[in-house]
Amino acid sequence: MASQGFWPFGAEDGGDNSNQNPSAPRAWCQAAQKFTGGLGSKLCALLSVGEGEKTGSPARKQQEAGVESCGCNKPCGCYKSNIDFSVLYSTDLLPASEGEVATLSFLQEVVDILLPYIVQTFDRSTKVIDFRYPNELLQENNWELSDNPETLEDILLNCRTSLKYAIKTGHPRYFNQLSTGLDMVGLAADWLTSTANTNMFTYEIAPVFVLLEHVTLKKMREIIGWPDGKGDGIFSPGGSISNMYAMLVARYKMFPEVKEKGMSAVPRLIAFTSEHSHFSIKKGAAALGIGTDSVVLVKVDERGKMIPSDLERRIIEAKQKGYVPFFVSATAGTTVYGAFDPLIAIADVCRKYKIWMHVDGAWGGSLIMSRKHRWKLNGIDRANSVTWNPHKMMSVPLQCSALLIREEGLMQKCNQMHACYLFQQDKHYDLSYDTGDKALQCGRHVDIFKLWLMWRAKGTIGFEAQIDKCLELSEYLYNKIKNREGYEMIFDGKPQHTNVCFWYIPPSLRYVEDKDERMKRLHKVAPVIKARMMEYGTTMVSYQPQGDKVNFFRMVISNPAASFEDIDFLIEEIERLGQDL
């Protein structure tokens, strides 16, 4: 099975000249001859009879596995590369001596598994997920790790099986998370990143990627509106870590002695964020030794936006208690409602009380790329730090999260430990490109190349078009359901982001008058519909309760593959799956 690839390897002869066998061999010859530096002849030699006779070599194994003469007319006399993976092991791949052919065939075979998956991802006639319960997945397959190796045929089978049960996160009807979509240029960039397999801590071992991070962070700061794009920043493993970094740097800015002395040397610090903000602010405070009790949750209005007067009131309260307000995290695009906190008013409060202003734009920050929607972020240029996750609304493959900081050099001072085995001061190049000591991470994955390459491929206007389209779709959904029978909106008014929050009220519930009874039953509706969606595999959308509101659907759209038709489908599907509840 493994040798029946999707691409030419092992393909059956579909041509009119059956003795020529047009599949792999000639492609191999041509391929080999395109290599520079003597590799071409080396590959040809590896494929030739003479070389193949060495006992135990992969070429020999291929002969034993019954490979045929390719009939190729090139002078190199190539063998057919119709490799039998059932007799090969990972030890036959590079760096094994003469492992080139097996390696290229194996990797191509993997690509031949991935390409159809990618095409199917966008095919609305395929399922979003072929759902199995954990015990089913465990029982139906053998996932165990053992002492002995598997053949490459088994490895390819493992790849197929893993994809069979995967969620198609790029499917046009997958609306489950803030990160959806599968961008082809981003994917290509990620494949290249894996192949380059390096680490962002020094210029020495990631020269191009470090420069691209430099260029991209500057561009992002320019877009935020900081003068000349000056400032600092880093790509971190996700928005939660970016938010924690911001809190860490804000604390250091106010009390640099905390780095050596710890929290016991400083007064009680208080952070402020809205009651609808992301849980990472509390997680960060717990980790940093600030404690969740010192995170004050500021009230929001009915649309989920922080109320600046309540922020001010709570700051004054904290100060009266002798505490030190040090950090305000405004949210640009809350997780559930998609609300944008009023940044200008918040900036005024922060200036008045000299508090670090952070903007958590993990979800909504990308709207700054849109001329139509960037007004929602007015005031962001006054922030001291910004979290902005291109892996959400810009569809960059996971993960890609930037933390941007207005003051240059602060991150470095806050986090550096001068490890002299890594950040030697007597290197022969400009050390300002060794950015690793800015982060808490030592090794750091290359998350920049996918964003940079997508930006080159789309231009800023391409991202803008994607974002505008998703917002247009959410407005379409809102208009479609706001007055539709069986729907109730969680809050009134056009969505500011792509979040559309609503209850679906099944027919049996529409005329229940007892409010408690209604709420109790309504709470159970979304989980059942969601479970059915997953079992049918037709679509996926998230739900949750919030505050005193029982379970409701939170629809979000960040996938450029989604269309009006998919929104229509979602509504039909909710009604189909929920009508009997």
Contacting a copy of itself within 446-475 (CB under 8 A): 446, 449, 452-462
Phi, psi of 49 (to 5 degrees): -55, -50
In this structure, are strands 324-331 and 269-274 parallel, antiparallel, or unpaired?
A: parallel
Residue position matching structure tokens 């922060």 = 350
Amino acid symbol at 115:
L
Binding part of the chain for a copy of itself, among 174-182, 314-322, 380-388, 481-489 by CB under 8 A, reads 174-182
- Residue 347 or 570: the one with the smaller Cβ distance to a copy of itself is 570
Does residue 402 touch a copy of itself according to CB under 8 A?
Answer: no
What character string, x for contact with a copy of itself (CB under 8 A) and - otherwise, covers 225-264?
------------xxxxx--x---x---------xxxxxxx
- 1 touching a copy of itself, by CB under 8 A: no
State phi, psi for 406 to the nearest 5 degrees.
-70, -40
Of 351 and 456, the one with the shorter C-beta distance to a copy of itself is: 456
Q: Tell me the C-alpha distance between 67 and 59, whole Å.
A: 9
The answer to the question of residue 374 lying near a copy of itself (CB under 8 A) is no
Residue 197 CA, distance from chain mean position: 18
Which range in 15-23, 54-62, 224-232, 339-347 contacts a copy of itself by CB under 8 A?
Answer: 15-23
Burial (CB < 10 A; 0-12, 13-18, 19+), residue 286, is middle
The answer to whether residue 479 forms part of the interface with a copy of itself (CB under 8 A) is no
Check residue 279 for interaction with a copy of itself (CB under 8 A): yes
Among 55, 66, 144, 511, binds a copy of itself (CB under 8 A): 144
Under the binding rule (CB under 8 A), the answer on residue 22 touching a copy of itself is yes
Residues 331-370 that bind a copy of itself (CB under 8 A): 335-336
Q: Which of 529, 513, 253 shows the shortest CA–CA distance to 384?
A: 253
Q: Which two tokens stand for residue 149?
A: 């190796």
Contact residue for a copy of itself among 50, 421, 492, 514 (CB under 8 A): 421
Long-range contacts of 154-163 (CB under 8 A, 24+ apart): 155/85, 155/90, 156/2, 156/85, 156/106, 156/109, 156/110, 156/113, 157/1, 157/2, 159/110, 159/113, 160/113, 163/113, 163/114, 163/117
Which lies closer to a copy of itself via its Cβ, residue 378 or residue 441?
441
Assess 8 for contact with a copy of itself (CB under 8 A).
yes
Instruction: Candidates 227, 409, 493, 527: give the one binding a copy of itself (CB under 8 A).
Output: 527
Please tell me whether residue 135 binds a copy of itself under the rule CB under 8 A: yes
Q: d(Cα 305, Cα 341) in Å, to the nearest integer?
A: 5
Assess 132 for contact with a copy of itself (CB under 8 A).
yes
Told to check if 265 binds a copy of itself by CB under 8 A, we report: yes
**146 belongs to the binding site for a copy of itself (CB under 8 A):** yes
Q: Is 175 in the site for a copy of itself (CB under 8 A)?
A: no
- The answer, yes or no, to whether the previous bond of 399 is cis (omega within 30 of 0) is yes
Q: How far apart are CA 222 and CA 410, in angstroms?
A: 19
Which CB, 57 or 240, lies closer to a copy of itself?
Answer: 240
Q: Which two tokens stand for residue 52?
A: 């193949």
Spatial neighbors of 36 by CB under 8 A, at least 6 apart, are none
Q: Does 219 bind a copy of itself (CB under 8 A)?
A: yes
- Is 80 a binding residue for a copy of itself by CB under 8 A? The answer is no
For a copy of itself, give the closer residue by CB, 298 or 349.
298
Shortest gap between Cβ of 345 and a copy of itself (angstroms)?
Answer: 26
Among positions 80, 282, 358, 382, the unique one binding a copy of itself when judged by CB under 8 A: 282
Strands (E), 43-103: none
Q: What angle do CA 145, 148, 154 make, to 5 degrees?
A: 75
Is residue 409 a contact point for a copy of itself (CB under 8 A)?
Answer: no
Does the protein bind a copy of itself through residue 76 (CB under 8 A)?
no
